[in-house]
Amino acid sequence: MVEHMKWWGWGRESVSFSHGDKPELAPFIRTHIGLDITRPPAQAPAFADLDVAEPTLPEPLRAALVEAVGAEHVHTDTLDRVIHAYGKSLRDLVRIRNQDLGRLPDVVVYPGDEDAVRAVLTAALDADAVVIPFGGGTNISGSLEAPRDEIRPVISVDLGRLDRVLDVDTDARLARVQAGALGPHLEEQLGAQGWTLGHFPDSFSHSTLGGWIATRSSGMQSDKYGDIAEITRAVRVVTPAGVLVTRPVPSQSTGPSVREMVLGSEGRLGIITEATVQVHRVPEERVILGYFFPTWDDALVAMREIAESEAQVTVTRVSDANETRFSFATRKKGSLASGLVSSGMKQYLRRVRKWDLEQMCLSFIGFEGSAGHVRAQRKLVGEIVGRHGGLCVGTGPGQLYDQKKFDTPYIRDFLLGQGAVADVSETATSWSTLAPLYRGVVARANKAFEEIGVKGWIMCHLSHSYHSGACLYFTFAYATPITLDAIVGYDTVKSAIQQGFIDLAGTLSHHHAVGVEHASWLADDISPAGVSLLTALFDGVDPGRNLNPGKII
């Protein structure tokens, strides 16, 4: 039995966000976006209220799918179809709350092995049906939904039964893993043998290896382990031309990389069934330390110096002043972090260090390895931080961040229930353009808030450092009635931010993929000639546009 998230929002039905134990949050939100979150929230939508069109599934196709995967793994019930219809973008969540279901899949199939996946694809192509691979359904780029005007039958292929680690080559430190494995189950199987993949996106609990590969995902510990693009050493993909198999060699010179073509392909080239991924021994020690910096500019320079130094860190993350203040406002009463900015600490920073506390930035830096290695890296990083006016505040905030990072996504549904939209946009750019891009994007977002007449909030953090640059991750929020009209205002703000990325030397997305959400900026990002190359690739592999049509281009 494959477990899914709640159909109308993030995560498990039994879990939701609460502000009751975070006394500073309600006043913070009231001050900054004018919303009173102490009111009773709107009820979650009722499934019985949905008006769901009957599926269109010609009998010969249904019979072929039953033959391919077995009758008990062919589902046409309404709940399954709704769950597989879309991801978890803000647009998806607003639409579902307003019963705008779009084009649901007609059938959901759950193949149990690669042969079954091949049989599903053959049946689909024979019937000229549309095939949309489904991992965990966590994407926020509109990567799963069928085009509204699709008249052919739509098949959602849920990879959830392909969830095993098949073997680990302990010499090469490579694991063969089935594509439908969810983060926790994958780490559990590797951990039982003393290994880790080291890929921990914030969506880890509900996303899959195949989804990570198909969207070029990045996890919080990418500084050490790399993005999924580096972690994935080989793939098996069921395509219309047969099973594409690449070899898990450390490097190769065999023309343009076919492995790279599969990375980020969002189901447009076929169904990934398996990948060979780099794994690492579970480290002896793992610690995330908190640091304060006097200003964002100081913190950015320190992050760059850490990236170009000999320090080997697992996480580099620093919040701007707004995100720092938001983090403090979400502290639980009596928690480890509540003593962090005690009045004594505040007085010290203000009087002795001469800091303007409104500008202070909170950073997390992660270290892993043997005790000696961790000690040496901490020292190196401590010296760099110190040179830029920063100071270490110990393991308390890091532990808290580590504990709550997978719960944070629940806040979006809570805010929607209260009458506010909150969403993210992220990019990557070089160290030389990071600071101007940041300032430009914040200015554009604030202008967009003005344009749509709302009191908006924007905050940002830097994460995922590379030799040449880093990712900037923006979060914005404002109060608005959660009707379908909310999407119009949302588009104004989101577009202003995305256009800012393109105009200010960033990419349209560092790790959230293209889908339909970001497709209009693709030609700006990779040039019209780049789009022609991709078009030729997709058309060549899938001339009938049966594979997740309309995504990326």
CA–CA gap between residue 460 and residue 472 (Å, rounded): 7
Nearer to ligand FAD, 101 or 336 (CB): 101
Site for ligand FAD in 215-234 (CB under 6 A): 215, 217-218
* Residue 507 binds ligand FAD, judged by CB under 6 A: no
Nearer to ligand FAD, 7 or 355 (CB): 7
Nearest to 168 by CA among 279, 57, 82: 279
Closest approach of ligand FAD to the CB of residue 117, in Å: 9
Q: Is 410 a catalytic residue?
A: no
Nearest to 283 by CA among 310, 314, 306: 314
Where residue 505 falls (left for φ over 0; alpha for ψ -120 to 50; beta otherwise) is left
Crossing angle (nearest 10°) for helices 90-97 and 410-418: 50
Strand partners, 352: none
CA–CA gap between residue 35 and residue 418 (Å, rounded): 8
Catalytic option among 110, 473, 478, 490: 473
Closest approach of ligand FAD to the CB of residue 137, in Å: 5
Among 16, 178, 207, 465, binds ligand FAD (CB under 6 A): 207
Q: How far is CA 524 from CA 216, 316, 507, 529, in A?
A: 19, 29, 9, 10
Among 61, 155, 174, 272, binds ligand FAD (CB under 6 A): 272
Which part of the chain contacts ligand FAD (CB under 6 A), choosing from 165-173, 385-393, 449-457, 505-513?
Answer: 505-513
CA–CA gap between residue 453 and residue 513 (Å, rounded): 30
CA–CA gap between residue 18 and residue 33 (Å, rounded): 18
Position 251: which residue type? S
* Residue 509 binds ligand FAD, judged by CB under 6 A: no
Nearest to 547 by CA among 135, 266, 138, 274: 266
* Residue 549 binds ligand FAD, judged by CB under 6 A: no
Measured in degrees and rounded to the nearest 5, phi and psi for residue 426 equal: -135, 155
Among 140, 146, 486, 516, binds ligand FAD (CB under 6 A): 140
Among 186, 190, 214, 374, binds ligand FAD (CB under 6 A): 214
Nearer to ligand FAD, 163 or 298 (CB): 163
Which part of the chain contacts ligand FAD (CB under 6 A), choosing from 15-23, 33-41, 55-63, 214-222?
Answer: 214-222
Closest approach of ligand FAD to the CB of residue 70, in Å: 19
Nearer to ligand FAD, 141 or 295 (CB): 141
Which part of the chain contacts ligand FAD (CB under 6 A), choosing from 22-30, 203-211, 242-250, 479-487?
Answer: 203-211
Position 72: which residue type? E
Please tell me the number of Cα atoms within 13 Å of 316 on its side-chain side.
32
* Residue 203 binds ligand FAD, judged by CB under 6 A: yes
Closest approach of ligand FAD to the CB of residue 461, in Å: 12
Strand partners, 425: 474
Where residue 242 falls (left for φ over 0; alpha for ψ -120 to 50; beta otherwise) is left
**Residue numbers annotated as active site:** 473
- List interacting residues with ligand FAD (CB under 6 A): 10, 87-88, 132-140, 143-144, 159, 179, 201-203, 207-208, 210-212, 214-215, 217-218, 266-267, 271-272, 409, 511-513, 548, 551
